[in-house]
A and B are shown apart, each in its own frame.
Chain A
Amino acid sequence: MIRDITLGQYYPADSILHRLDPRVKLMGTILFLVGLFLIKGWAGYAVATVFLFAMIRISKVPFRFIVRGLKTIFIILLITLVFNLFLTPGDRVLVQIWKLQITDKGLNTAIFMAIRLIYLIIGSSLMTLTTTPNDLTDGLETLLGPLKKLHVPVHEVSMMMSIALRFIPILLEETDKIMKAQMARGADFEHGNLIQRAKSLVPLLVPLFISAFRRASDLAMAMEARCYRGGEGRTKMKPLAYARRDYCAYGILILFLAVIIALRVLL
């Protein structure tokens, strides 16, 4: 189940999208999301669809990999769909079930909202699938750099993020191990009512927390031993630098946004 979450998972491949500067991809994702909310009417969605599928093709990430990420938001998707479908007032009633009615406008909104949500998820997973966690945090750190002046601990937050990303697989493995060890002592994680099940998690969660704290204190010591003293005076092994392709990418993004806005104004 945990493995189905593609959001935040990197898919190694060699594509232009993978090689782009993480700042471009972060900004690109934001611009794409803004674009999605500016869209009005079918023509805009058609442009977004073409754009998104072109990106997926370029990224060389298998399509089923991207779709897998949608599974986790299926419930949210369903709820939005139902709400929009039944609760939007409109001019023409298409279907009437008891007190609920589906109007032409409702159907329209429901479909658009669903597409918007799906594209939103696909768009952002495409970024995380093509960017290593480290690049991602590096990109964030640089983009948010100006906030340092406002005493926002940008470096610390991005360091925390990259460490968290490194330890997620280790802690998942550990969870599996402790679970098995407690099952060997007769623990039952699968049966019983909600309260019993919640209680049965104690023998899993306590060791997991203790282990996480132990690892954290070990890691803090190891970082100190390797001369870590915060972001000041630090150099970078892989400093971010824009290449020509990055400027091209920015160009394409602005073009995309311009087309969306033009369609919104003109149509």
Chain B
Amino acid sequence: MEETRMEDRQNMIQADRLAYNYVKYDEEGREKETIRAVDGVSFEVQKGDFVAILGHNGSGKSTLAKHINALLTPSEGTLWVNGMDTSDEDRLWDVRQSAGMVFQNPDNQIIGSIVEEDVGFGPENMGVPTEEIWQRVEESLKAVNMLKYRHHSPNRLSGGQKQRVAIAGVVAMHPKCIVLDEPTAMLDPNGRKEVIRAIRALNQVEDITVILITHYMEEVIYADKVLVMDDGKVVMQGTPREIFSQVETLKSYRLDVPQATLLAWELKKAGLDLPDGILTREELVEALCRLY
């Protein structure tokens, strides 16, 4: 018993048969149906990991993400974040401070009218002394490469810049882990690149655990681990290479694979002796050169 608890504490996140039901009501306010958005999910995320969660809309991945920040608490099962049970109301604010959250729509999560004031919002709520807030704001904006926009109004920034401000706002709270719920879905390709670059830097330089929910397969290839969700369950788990070598299974969940992986898979089907799980175009070119 004691031993398992020690193990829990080493993981950033540990989910044990986590389930979440929500009730839909009809117009008269009667219970219409109960929907099991997350259905008995178990997984763990180690400190410092970069984990990507894939799945089509309605697969339950956003609901799962909100659990990590204790915006939702499990209907069944347990979720530990940094050793804390998220259902424990006394630890609510500690959970939220350890696991920050970035949402899809950049406009709807920026509170301040000036970039630096928005980044200071989290620390203000936590009761951080004024001087330290300034320090944290400066560090965080530097970490996402937005320091030179500190006096700007968020309304004048591009989507990618706004999203980086939102990330800085979370970083300023000094979290152990950041959950990003489709942070690039509303951005153009350049904005997506900026944001992914910032996220990877946080993971590698600041050693913050990252959980990235996305539809873009190119963003997944850097992950240490990939979870695939379908119908509220985790249906695949592994390294990007392991996941993307199963092109057909992914297709059955109506997901994409990176273009290079898809081309390699097609070529292999046609008879070329290529290895499984090619992720990048460099890898594909190299493998083809060996055969040529």
A and B touch in the complex (CB under 8 A): yes
The verdict on A235 contacting B113 (CB below 8 Å), with A222-B103, A226-B170, A227-B122 known, is no
The answer to whether A165 touches B124 (Cβ under 8 A) is no
| Bound CA span A33–B101, Å | 46
Q: Return the chain B residue nearest A225 by Cβ.
A: B101
| Bound CA span A235–B169, Å | 16
Q: Return the chain A residue nearest B118 by Cβ.
A: A166
Q: Which residues of A contact B122 (CB under 8 A)?
A: 226-227
Q: Which residues of B contact A236 (CB under 8 A)?
A: 124, 130
The verdict on A218 contacting B114 (CB below 8 Å), with A225-B69, A226-B122, A226-B170 known, is no
Q: Return the chain B residue nearest A215 by Cβ.
A: B108
For window 113-142 of B, CB contacts with A under 8 Å fall at: 113-114, 116-117, 120-130, 133-134, 137
Q: Which residues of B contact A226 (CB under 8 A)?
A: 96, 100, 111, 121-122, 125, 169-170, 173
Query: A34 in the interface, Cβ–Cβ < 8 Å?
Result: no
Interface string of A229-267 (1 = CB under 8 A from B): 100011111110000000000000000000000000000
Query: B109 in the interface, Cβ–Cβ < 8 Å?
Result: yes
| Bound CA span A165–B111, Å | 10
Chain A: number of interface residues, binned into ranges: 20 to 34
| Bound CA span A261–B109, Å | 50
Taking a contact as CB atoms closer than 8 A, the residue among A132, A133, A218, A229 that contacts B125 in the complex is A229
Q: Return the chain A residue nearest B105 by Cβ.
A: A218
Q: Return the chain A residue nearest B129 by Cβ.
A: A235
CB distance from B186 to the nearest CB of A (A): 12
The answer to whether B111 touches A223 (Cβ under 8 A) is yes
Query: A224 in the interface, Cβ–Cβ < 8 Å?
Result: yes
The answer to whether A237 touches B155 (Cβ under 8 A) is no
Q: Which residues of B contact A225 (CB under 8 A)?
A: 69, 71, 96, 100-101, 103
The answer to whether A221 touches B103 (Cβ under 8 A) is yes
The answer to whether A235 touches B173 (Cβ under 8 A) is no
Count of chain B residues with Cβ under 8 Å from any Cβ of A?
38
The answer to whether B112 touches A218 (Cβ under 8 A) is no
CB distance from B176 to the nearest CB of A (A): 14
Q: Return the chain A residue nearest B108 by Cβ.
A: A218
The answer to whether A235 touches B127 (Cβ under 8 A) is yes
The answer to whether A215 touches B107 (Cβ under 8 A) is yes
Q: Which residues of B contact A169 (CB under 8 A)?
A: 155
Q: Which residues of A contact B93 (CB under 8 A)?
A: 227, 229
The verdict on A235 contacting B112 (CB below 8 Å), with A170-B107, A215-B107, A225-B71 known, is no
The answer to whether B124 touches A237 (Cβ under 8 A) is yes
For window 79-125 of A, CB contacts with B under 8 Å fall at: none
The answer to whether B117 touches A218 (Cβ under 8 A) is no
Query: B82 in the interface, Cβ–Cβ < 8 Å?
Result: no
Q: Which residues of A contact B137 (CB under 8 A)?
A: 237
The answer to whether B123 touches A237 (Cβ under 8 A) is yes
CB distance from A38 to the nearest CB of B (A): 35
| Bound CA span A224–B73, Å | 14
The answer to whether A219 touches B111 (Cβ under 8 A) is yes
Query: B97 in the interface, Cβ–Cβ < 8 Å?
Result: yes
The answer to whether A134 touches B96 (Cβ under 8 A) is no
The answer to whether A134 touches B117 (Cβ under 8 A) is yes
Chain A residues close to B by CB (< 8 Å): 132-134, 162-163, 165-166, 169-170, 214-215, 218-219, 221-229, 233-239
A-B contact pairs, 17 of them (CB 8 A): A132-B114, A133-B113, A134-B117, A166-B110, A166-B112, A166-B113, A170-B107, A218-B103, A218-B108, A219-B109, A225-B100, A225-B101, A226-B111, A227-B126, A234-B127, A236-B130, A237-B120
A225-B103, A237-B137, A239-B130 known, 8 other contacts, Cβ within 8 Å: A132-B113, A163-B111, A226-B96, A226-B100, A226-B122, A227-B122, A237-B117, A237-B134
